């Protein structure tokens, strides 16, 4: 079955009549002039209508065309140049949960404790009481953050999941440090 290029590609100039399928490479030697016996100084005799080959038979170097690989030129009827290469992709983030993200997730619960103390107290805390509360929450948050980091070292979780995961470690750290401080006061 012949392929009629006129029906598939109507806007491209071409020879009339059925053509070979453009998806297949042309047969060897197609489109090249017939070989001529060698002439002195040239490996092949010049063909009428074609420029003579350069001395020593090497191809003429072609000036590069912007946007095309070296040795290729624009083809009529096709886009003027290749599209620009895509922008480089940034390096992926660290594969696991960082200590900073785990510490910030634990600080959320320290903020919750601070709000609960304000609500239960009913009035503003003194500067000393506020400093004591914040000073006691920071080591607990740090220990809780380190425990969460130890659990999720190789898996990067969304921040909301880290906050939920830090709740049990925050409560355990709060109880353990509270018990240690209470035991130190009992002497």
Highest mean pLDDT pick, 9-18, 62-71, 172-181: 172-181
Q: Of 2-16, 68-82, 168-182, which gets the smallest average pLDDT? A: 2-16
Q: What pLDDT, on a 0 to 100 scale, did the predictor assign at position 83? A: 65
Domain boundaries, the chain: 99-185
Report pLDDT digits (tens) over 55-85.
544 454 555 666 666 666 666 666 655 666 7
Q: For residue 118, what are its two tokens?
A: 């304000």
Distance of CA 166 to the CA centre of its chain: 30
Q: What pLDDT, on a 0 to 100 scale, did the predictor assign at position 164? A: 95
């Amino acid at each position: 079955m012949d392929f009629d290029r006129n029906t598939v590609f109507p806007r491209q100039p071409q020879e009339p009549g059925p053509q070979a399928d453009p998806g297949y490479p042309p047969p060897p030697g197609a489109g090249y002039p017939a070989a001529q016996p060698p002439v002195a100084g040239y490996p092949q005799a010049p063909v009428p209508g074609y420029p003579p080959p350069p001395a020593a038979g090497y191809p003429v170097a072609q000036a590069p065309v912007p946007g095309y690989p070296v040795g290729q030129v624009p083809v009529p009827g096709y886009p003027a140049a290749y599209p620009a290469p895509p922008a480089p992709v940034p390096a992926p983030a660290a594969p696991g949960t960082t200590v900073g993200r785990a510490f910030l997730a634990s600080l959320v619960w320290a903020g919750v404790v601070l709000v609960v103390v304000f609500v239960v107290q009913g009035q503003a805390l003194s500067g000393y009481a506020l400093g004591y509360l914040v000073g006691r929450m920071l080591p607990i948050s740090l220990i809780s953050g380190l425990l969460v980091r130890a659990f999720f070292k190789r898996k990067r979780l969304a921040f909301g999941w880290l906050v939920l995961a830090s709740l049990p470690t925050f409560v355990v750290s709060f109880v353990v440090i509270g018990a240690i401080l209470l035991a130190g006061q009992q002497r």
